[in-house]
Chains A and B, each alone.
Chain A
């Protein structure tokens, strides 16, 4: 069912493009996240050439190999891909049945956003999102209890995005048809 739904959505190039753009954006965001202050500083500097301004963020993408463990790099890439597919399928669904999305789409979106935000990226020692974004709610305490030092959230993110994808596929593939019992 999932495969059939994917086929249905991605036979239109516009959805492939949408998924690619979204996945790339999510991936770049996750990798740049620890260094957004640096990128903002360099981008906003009037004395730095455009080439230099572009070179730095591009080279920082290489930190997926240096600043991530194999596990965190794997789930970061998985989350980016799943997020892109989710968005493409969600938009496909939205275009088909606006009324239904008002109800069911909210749930799908919440699954994706919650898992994506919490699970994304573990930079350097100390999960970046947990220590910076969630520090207000005591991230350091969480890290001490987690055997994977926050990697659990990434794995959970992948699972939740998978569930979200399945739910969307189910709705695409099983349109609410009035069945006639004979």
Chain B
């Protein structure tokens, strides 16, 4: 590269240089110190709709092998014996989960009908961001209680369709969705008011973080040999498709 030289140049005033370095260091320090202070001095507000502890910051220290085995208690869309399974940990009030729900519907349209891919739904409500999500997770379980897998997915599709996300869904809509998918609303409301699914939902949350989930949607693609691929966020359909094709090859 060319050096430009100026005959009249000399060293800049020392005072200016001496100030700029400490200022930059102070700004960096303040940012980090602020992060430390805010994060450790006050607990996050408890926004969970049940009595369980608020979620801690998910740490990316997980191990995919910690994923709970897919069982009869899971909500599976498509062929339960499909060679490729996508386990999605999702938050109903997360706008990216809403977007990814559509992507997964597209996936099931292409791969689900042939029995190649199964979609497993698990709960991952981020209480600190979306205080309503945990109650909506309960609503999904209540739908499952009444109508099994079919009603669970009908309810989920409708919920993701109508929620504006980011805590925008009026809780009064939950019984209306129940009615829409032809559930017994009275029974649904009793179930919704109960705490019987809290432990199940919390177990899903804990499993999400144990596997390395640090945001939603968090997905794990499992191939026919049990090999697992992590997929974080609402990735485009093209990426999900490529991952599925890799998993189908069982490499």
> In the complex, what distance in Å separates the CA atom of A106 from the CA atom of B22?
10
Q: Are B215 and A126 closer than 8 Å at their CB atoms?
A: yes
Q: Does A34 contact B (CB under 8 A)?
A: yes
Decide: A175 near B1, CB < 8 A? Known: A34-B215, A107-B24, A144-B44.
no
Q: Which residues of B contact A145 (CB under 8 A)?
A: 38
> In the complex, what distance in Å separates the CA atom of A139 from the CA atom of B126?
13
Q: Are B35 and A111 closer than 8 Å at their CB atoms?
A: no
Q: Which residues of A contact B11 (CB under 8 A)?
A: 99-100, 176
Q: Are A110 and B24 closer than 8 Å at their CB atoms?
A: yes
Q: Does A178 contact B (CB under 8 A)?
A: yes
Decide: A125 near B3, CB < 8 A? Known: A34-B233, A114-B24.
no
Question: 8 Å CB contacts to B: which residues of A107-145?
Answer: 107-108, 110-111, 114, 118, 123-126, 128, 131-132, 134-135, 137-145
> In the complex, what distance in Å separates the CA atom of A74 from the CA atom of B9?
40
Report B146 CB to chain A, min CB distance, Å. 29
Q: Are B10 and A65 closer than 8 Å at their CB atoms?
A: no
Question: Which of B1, B56, B99, B231 interacts with A35 by CB under 8 Å?
Answer: B231
Q: Which residues of B contact A111 (CB under 8 A)?
A: 24, 27
Q: Are B39 and A60 closer than 8 Å at their CB atoms?
A: no
> In the complex, what distance in Å separates the CA atom of A99 from the CA atom of B10?
11
Report A114 CB to chain B, min CB distance, Å. 4
Q: Are B95 and A65 closer than 8 Å at their CB atoms?
A: no
Report A60 CB to chain B, min CB distance, Å. 5
Q: Are A178 and B239 closer than 8 Å at their CB atoms?
A: no
Q: Are B12 and A104 closer than 8 Å at their CB atoms?
A: yes
Q: Are A143 and B6 closer than 8 Å at their CB atoms?
A: no
Question: 8 Å CB contacts to A: which residues of B43-58?
Answer: 43-45, 55-58
Proximity bits, A169-182, B CB within 8 Å = 1, else 0: 00100011110000
Q: Number of B residues whose C-beta is below 8 Å from A?
A: 72
Stretch at the interface among B13-21, B69-77, B109-117, B183-191: B13-21
Q: Are A65 and B230 closer than 8 Å at their CB atoms?
A: no
Q: Are B229 and A41 closer than 8 Å at their CB atoms?
A: yes
Q: Are A66 and B246 closer than 8 Å at their CB atoms?
A: no
Question: Which of B9, B21, B215 interacts with A177 by CB under 8 Å?
Answer: B9
Closest chain A residue to B55, Cβ basis: A140
Q: Which residues of B contact A (CB under 8 A)?
A: 1-4, 6, 8-13, 16-18, 20-21, 23-25, 27-28, 31-32, 35-36, 38-45, 55-60, 91, 94-97, 99-100, 103, 126, 128-130, 212, 214-218, 229-236, 238-239, 242-243, 245-246, 251
**27 pairs across A/B with beta carbons < 8 Å?**
A45-B251, A48-B246, A52-B242, A60-B235, A60-B236, A62-B235, A66-B99, A91-B1, A95-B1, A108-B24, A111-B24, A111-B27, A114-B28, A126-B126, A126-B129, A131-B60, A137-B36, A140-B128, A141-B40, A141-B43, A141-B57, A143-B57, A145-B38, A149-B129, A176-B12, A177-B8, A177-B10
